[in-house]
Amino acid sequence: MLSYVARRCLYMIPTLFGISVVAFAIIQLPPGDYLTTLVSRLENQGESVDRAQLESLRERYGLGDPLASQYVTWMSSILFHGDFGQSFEYSRPVADLVADRLPLTVVLAVTTLLTTWLLAFPIGLYSAVRQYSPGDYLATIVGFLGLAIPNFMIALLLMYLGQTVFGMSVGGLFSPEFEDAAWNLGKVIDLLGHLWVPVLVLATAGTAGLIRVLRANLLDELHRPYVVAARARGMPERKLLVRYPLRAALNPFVSTVGYVLPALVSGEVVVAQVLSLPTTGPLLLNALRSQDMYLASSVILIVSVLTVIGTLLSDVLLAWLDPRVRLDQG
């Protein structure tokens, strides 16, 4: 088991390196560098440009050096000083900006993942055990719709219905009076009152996929000889189901984190924009629109790294749950 975990952690290193290279490339892609953008922006605002300050900034980011050494400068200040650079859109350190929004993004992603499981588990189970029943067909149809309707359409529809039918605004994560308040019980309750909308919207696609996986896996298991054998020995159907096939079919719940999580993070960007949530998605979008590249690539870097770590956790969990996995590869 330990060697399996160690191996998985080792595999992660090239992945993390790859992510950092991609994030760095995104900084480099737009024409010009940080300073030319900064200067043109300052001049547009009619402010004078301080030569000495520019020089120190040039020094700080190693601009003008070869790309490889710029990359090393960028990476080492992140790794050793937690310094992600400066956002000129907000004139604040990128680290602060991201720190403001990241916790809510993580809360949203984790809640959505749990909700996905909670929804998919009973529905998938029912679908497989009562195959071809009306309920199964309904679940299949809902599943297909969940996959086909873009997340943001569901968000738009909910917002529209909330506005016209119930006369309430659905967007945001906090009511205005709690927006800038310090954390207390009231704010948490207020958050929960708002959180369900994006969670529900984001959970649809993942749930739809998971139902199909669980149903297919369970159907495979249900016709295995060991199930027939247990039934022949007079084991009650319910106990039989829970004791054997269900355990085998549980694996997808853990293993699909690997692709549900990236999809979730992707979906979050669009949904958060539509519902104007204070998460990293809209931050990234604004940064990309205004070519605030240090901010944009930091968000991409952090979100991707978190996704990879989440996937690693799920793999370890899976190996712990299912000896076949760790014996096969470890």
Partner 1 sequence: MTGLAAAPGAAGTTQTPEGPPTEKKGGAPPRDSASQWRLVWRRFRRHRLAMLGLAVTAALYLVAIFADFLAPFGTEHFDEDYPYAPPQTIQFDGGLHVDGYTTAVDNETYEQTFTTDPSQRIPVGFFVRGEEYRLLGLIPWDRHLFGPTEPGAPMYLLGADRTGHDLLSQLIHGTRVSMTIGLIGVVVAFVLGVVLGGLSGYLAGRADTVIQRVVEFFMSLPSLPLWLGLAAALPPEWGPLQRYFAISVVLALIGWTHLAREVRGRFLALREEQFVTAARLDGCGRRRVILGHMLPSVSSHLIAQLSLSVPAMILAETALSFLGLGLQAPVVSWGVLLQDAQNVRVLETAPWLMIPGLAVVVAVLALNFAGDGLRDAADPYRR
CA-to-CA distance for 40 and 127, rounded, in angstroms? 60
Looking at the Cβ atoms of 19 and 277, the one nearer to partner 1 is 19
* Cα–Cα distance measured from residue 152 to residue 201, given in angstroms and rounded to the nearest whole number: 8
Encode 163-174 in three state secondary structure.
HHCCCCCCCCCC
The least CB distance from residue 56 to partner 1, in Å, is: 27
Whose tokens are 């992600």? That residue is 84
Q: How far is the CB of 15 from partner 1 (least distance, A)?
A: 5
The residue (of 191 and 263) whose beta carbon lies closer to partner 1 is 263
Which one, 161 or 181, has the nearer CB to partner 1? 161
* CB 88, min distance to partner 1, A: 16
Q: Which is nearer to partner 1, 28 or 184 (CB)?
A: 28
Q: Closer CB to partner 1, residue 128 or residue 274? A: 274
Torsion (CA) 48, 52, 54, 55 in degrees, nearest 10: 160
The nearest distance, CB 44 to partner 1, in angstroms, is 16
Q: What angle do CA 119, 211, 133 make, to 5 degrees?
A: 100
State the nearest-atom distance from the C-beta of 145 to partner 1, in Å. Answer: 7
Q: What are the respective helix, strand and coil percentages of the chain, to the nearest 5?
A: 80, 0, 20
CA torsion, ordered 284, 289, 293, 294, to nearest 10 deg: -40
Q: How far is the CB of 48 from partner 1 (least distance, A)?
A: 28
- Give me the least distance between CB of 240 and partner 1, in Å please: 26
DSSP track, 242-310: HHTHHHHHTHHHHHTHHHHHHHHHHHHHHHHHHTT-SSHHHHHHHHHHTT-HHHHHHHHHHHHHHHHHH
Q: Between residues 93 and 281, which has the closer beta carbon with respect to partner 1? A: 281
Binding residues vs partner 1 (CB under 8 A): 11, 14-15, 18-19, 22, 26, 29-31, 144-145, 147-150, 152-153, 156-157, 159-160, 163-164, 169, 171, 258-259, 261-267, 269-270, 273-274, 284-285, 288-289, 291, 296-297, 299-300, 303-304, 307-308, 311
Per-residue burial over 30-53, b = 16 or more CB atoms within 10 Å of its CB, e = otherwise? eeebbbebbeeeeeeeeeeeeeee
Minimum CB separation of residue 239 from partner 1 in Å reads 31
Tokens 């996905």 belong to 116
Measured from the CB atom, is 241 or 296 closer to partner 1? 296
CA–CA dist 303, 306 (Å, integer): 5
231/289 with CB nearer partner 1: 289
126/136 Cα distance (integer angstroms) = 7
